[in-house]
């Protein structure tokens, strides 16, 4: 027994999200007191929780931004707002926690506060409060934003059904491409014009327009945004939450030229690169054209695969299939952990 405890305490965790099996056996079993008002409890692969209120539900989600410094406030608002938007409803309110490293200046604080303010105004989100401090031991800022909405009905990423068509909006690796273009040194590797264009992909992080348009058709069973692990990670998490398998077609997933160039320069996979701004939608088979028509005025939308009863498969361009047994490690963390 003592040996088991020592093994548990010495297990080194990877960068990024906690592996789903460990999350299930620890955090998701330790959820405090019980309440019969919890409509959607915390679950692996589900973007938000839902609580019963007088007329419908309160949707709530919280996320940190820790791997980027430039435009950190904008990322923090958009990423948490996206989680709420996957319910099919517009985010309405937010609280923010800003942790600054020692030595930060008043200008550093003001810059982050302006970023949070601007992003929230774009999304129609009212900021209710939060907490701000200078924290010892940090090497860079961390911003955590919690977003709320009130809804009469919603879908979750755990609602997909076998046979559903998998649709994807925009292109793969949007967030990671923008972050790498801002944070990584590509001098001598890529043209300045490519990097400028890649940085501007931050403008595409919001999934609310396409999520609400898709939900409005009444033909969507579930949605999930492409955060850590990229497109492949989002489809995997959605399949776990729904108790299903899937086939994801590599050749069908759109990748922008900027993302392709950055990923080729770093020898990483764009389909495993953090991709906030892109939405995965599970649609009843036969209704995909209806949903695509509804979404297309707000965003590019592509059919990329299908959920099935069992077996999680990534079908490569050459026709070979890779069995996906666990959530993929995000390529951004791999790059950040490389020796400089």
Q: Which of 148-152, 188-192, 256-260, 267-271 has the lowest mean pLDDT?
A: 188-192
Helix (H) or strand (E) holding 340: none
Q: Note whether 168 and 122 are same-domain residues.
A: no
Rg of the chain on CA atoms, in Å: 20
Within-domain flag for 4:
no
Q: Note whether 166 and 311 are same-domain residues.
A: yes
pLDDT in tens, 4-48: 444 556 678 877 788 888 888 888 888 999 999 999 998 888 889
Residue-wise burial string across 139-160, b where 16 or more C-beta atoms lie within 10 A, e elsewhere? eebbbbbbbbbebeebbbbbbb
Q: Let me know: does 81 contact 95? Beta carbons within 8 Å.
A: no
Residue 337 has pLDDT above 90, yes or no: no
Q: Write down which residue in 151, 173, 189 finishes a domain.
A: 151
Domain limits for position 201: 157-336
Q: Note whether 97 and 233 are same-domain residues.
A: no
Q: Note whether 127 and 270 are same-domain residues.
A: no
Integer Cα distance of 239 and 245 in angstroms: 6
Q: Note whether 168 and 299 are same-domain residues.
A: yes
Q: Note whether 139 and 174 are same-domain residues.
A: no
Within-domain flag for 256:
yes
Q: Write down which residue in 151, 176, 200 finishes a domain.
A: 151
E strands, the chain, in order: 38-40, 49-53, 56-65, 93-101, 126-135, 142-151, 165-169, 220-225, 245-249, 279-283, 301-308, 312-315, 321-323
Q: Note whether 67 and 216 are same-domain residues.
A: no
Which CATH number is 179's domain given? 3.90.650.10
Integer Cα distance of 32 and 169 in angstroms: 36
Q: Which two tokens stand for residue 16?
A: 């990024």
Q: What is the DSSP letter of 270?
A: G
Within-domain flag for 6:
no
Spatial neighbors of 142 by CB under 8 A, at least 6 apart, are 64, 65, 66, 98, 99, 135
φ and ψ of 20, to 5 deg: -60, -40
| pLDDT at res. 51 | 97
Q: Write down which residue in 120, 151, 182 finishes a domain.
A: 151
Q: What angle do CA 238, 239, 245 make, to 5 degrees?
A: 160
| pLDDT at res. 1 | 42
Q: Let me know: does 132 contact 98? Beta carbons within 8 Å.
A: yes
Q: Note whether 161 and 19 are same-domain residues.
A: no
| pLDDT at res. 339 | 66
Q: Note whether 122 and 168 are same-domain residues.
A: no
pLDDT in tens, 42-71: 888 888 999 999 999 999 999 998 877 888
Q: Note whether 214 and 272 are same-domain residues.
A: yes
What's this model's pTM, rounded to 2 decimal places? 0.91
Q: Note whether 146 and 69 are same-domain residues.
A: yes
Q: Note whether 162 and 300 are same-domain residues.
A: yes
Which CATH number is 136's domain given? 3.30.1330.10
Structural domain count, the chain:
2
């Amino acid at each position: 027994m003592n040996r088991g405890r020592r093994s548990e305490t010495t297990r080194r965790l990877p960068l990024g999200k906690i592996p789903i099996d460990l999350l299930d056996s620890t955090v998701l079993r330790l959820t405090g007191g019980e309440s019969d008002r919890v409509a959607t409890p915390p679950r692996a692969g589900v973007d938000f929780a839902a609580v019963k209120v007088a007329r419908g539900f309160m949707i709530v989600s919280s996320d940190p931004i820790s791997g980027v410094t430039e435009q950190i406030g904008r990322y923090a608002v958009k990423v948490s707002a996206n989680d709420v938007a996957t319910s099919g409803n517009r985010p309405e309110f937010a609280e923010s926690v800003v942790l600054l490293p020692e030595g930060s200046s008043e200008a550093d604080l003001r810059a982050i506060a302006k970023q949070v303010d601007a992003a929230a105004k774009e999304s129609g989100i009212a900021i209710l409060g939060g907490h701000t401090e200078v924290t010892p031991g940090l090497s860079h800022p961390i911003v955590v934003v919690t977003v709320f909405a009130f809804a009469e009905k919603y879908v979750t990423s755990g609602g997909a059904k076998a046979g559903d068509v998998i649709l994807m909006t925009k292109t793969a690796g949007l967030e990671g491409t923008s972050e790498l273009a801002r944070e990584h040194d590509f001098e001598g590797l890529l043209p300045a014009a490519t990097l400028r264009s890649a940085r501007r992909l931050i403008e595409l992080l919001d999934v609310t327009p396409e999520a609400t348009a898709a939900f409005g058709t009444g033909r969507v069973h579930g949605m999930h945004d492409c955060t850590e692990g990229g497109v492949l990670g989002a489809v995997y998490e959605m399949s776990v939450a729904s108790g299903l398998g899937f086939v994801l077609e590599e050749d069908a997933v759109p990748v922008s030229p900027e993302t392709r160039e950055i990923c080729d320069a770093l020898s990483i996979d764009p389909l495993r690169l953090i991709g906030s701004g892109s939405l995965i939608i599970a649609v009843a088979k036969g209704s995909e054209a209806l949903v695509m028509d509804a979404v297309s005025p707000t965003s590019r939308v592509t059919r990329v695969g299908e959920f099935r009863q069992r077996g999680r498969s990534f079908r490569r361009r050459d026709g070979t299939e890779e069995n996906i047994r666990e959530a993929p490690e995000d390529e951004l963390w791999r790059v950040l952990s490389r020796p400089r």
